[in-house]
Amino acid sequence: MAIEVTNVNFENEVLNSKLPVLIDFWAPWCGPCKAVAPVLEEVEKEIGEKAKICKINLDDAPEIATKYSIMSIPTLMVVKDGKVMDTKVGALPKEELLKLINQYA
């Protein structure tokens, strides 16, 4: 299950993570975000302990979205060692998500 990230746990779960982190910036009112959710669950099962998946609800953590200049959702971002490695906008298929995270895992 993806980790829900807020302003409170962002630093610990994302920036200080020993593993690469795939962040899903989303909102409950976003149709494409809902389409990505089950795909992310499949990806999470396949990557196992190589990386972790976090979800950031923009309605609950707008400061984080502003800090990373999130303009559209869903936005998927890979963070490794506290640094943004890659960012993709839009609903991606499972194969592309696996490729995205595996290159940093």
Catalytic residue among 30, 40, 78, 101: 30
d(CA 51, CA 19): 5
H runs (alpha helix) in the chain: 10, 31-47, 62-67, 94-102
Q: The tokens of 104 are what? A: 């940093």
Q: Is 30 a catalytic residue?
A: yes
User: Which residue has tokens 């592309």?
Assistant: 96
Radius of gyration of the chain measured on its C-alpha atoms: 12
Q: Is 54 a catalytic residue?
A: no
Catalytic residue among 33, 47, 65, 91: 33
The catalytic residues are: 30, 33
